[in-house]
Amino acid sequence: MHEQVRKTILLFLGILTLLSAICYYAILKLNPTSIYVGALMMCPALSAFITLKLMKRPISILPWGLKRLKYLRLSYLIPVGYITISYTLIWVFGFGNVPNQETITEWSQELGMGGFSSSFVLLTMIVLLSVVGVVKNIGSTLGEEIGWRGFLIYELRKLFSFGGVSMSSGLIWAIWHWPIIYLVYRGSGNLIFHIAAFTVMIMAISIILAYFTFKSNSLWPAALFHSVHNIFIQKIFTPLTITNESSTFWIDEYGLMLPIITTIIAIYFWRRAKVENL
């Protein structure tokens, strides 16, 4: 039984490596356009589908259903919470300032609100991004979460405890992102630092997502969580932050603040999983 599971996991990782390598070639060697990044985000799902096909298992075994909306609500609120806390601390300690007027000006142009107040533009864009942006982005994050939480952690669960599943899946997920970090930070002198910070954050988030996935027996909370995380960091809080010489070490997914806050939250869910024998 365990040998078959290991073969299934290795097959999935082999297919994922091949498909991802093609996308990474396009991103790193051709042009880091969003269409190539979108293709990369589909690789975990495609790898899961191909693996199931080769193993003669139906795609319907993946946790497509959702019986309790509680975990969808938590999957929205928790990333909003830890991102808000992280950036508030960043602004309070002077690792960045707010608001970035250039971003608000760009938003006003994008929305066709050139004659409106900055406050109204800010509120309108945040509302639109937090609803429309999140829903739209689920199409991309679902491509990852079908593979990571829908398939991989359920296979790993046949071999490991909750902690082992969370740590191993988190490490795989982090390593899969490393070429992107290389693209962003190569030549900066801080590449290893940013890889380490991102890896800690991803492994912490993996604990939370494993908990939500197993509790709900559904991949949808993870897809929503992932989308909210991406939108609020990449489209709202980081663009609104005025950076300084300290910012690179603290803001965004590659700085220190998010790993610290997400790790604290992850410890809470790890303990809950232990108490609940998850």
pLDDT at 153 over 90: yes
Measured distance CA(144)–CA(252) in Å, rounded: 20
pLDDT at 1 over 90: no
Model confidence pLDDT, tens digit, residues 89-100: 999 999 999 999
Query: For a pLDDT cut of 70, what percent of the chain falls above it?
Result: 100
- On whether the CB atoms of residues 85 and 261 are closer than 8 A, the answer is yes
Q: Angle 36-209-203 (CA atoms, 0-180°, nearest 5)?
A: 75
For range 118-139, the mean pLDDT: 96
Place of tokens 């030549």: 187
**CA 159 from centroid of its chain's CA atoms:** 24
pLDDT at 67: 86
Residues 237, 23, 205, 57, CA torsion sign? positive
pLDDT at 166: 97
Measured distance CA(270)–CA(246) in Å, rounded: 32
pLDDT top residue among 45 and 67: 45
pLDDT at 199: 98
Model confidence pLDDT, tens digit, residues 22-52: 999 999 999 988 899 999 999 999 999 999 9
DSSP notation for the chain: -HHHHHHHHHHHHHHHHHHHHHHHHIIIII---HHHHHHHHHHHHHHHHHHHHHTT--GGGS------THHHHHHHHHHHHHHHHHHHHHHHTTSEES--HHHHHHHHHHHT-TTS-HHHHHHHHHHHIIIIIHHHHHHHHHHHHIIIIIIIHHHHTTTS-HHHHHHHHHHHHHHHHHHHHHHHHTTSS-HHHHHHHHHHHHHHHHHHHHHHHHHHT-SHHHHHHHHHHHIIIIIIIHHHPEE-TTGGGTSSTTSSHHHHHHHHHHHHHHHHHHHTT-
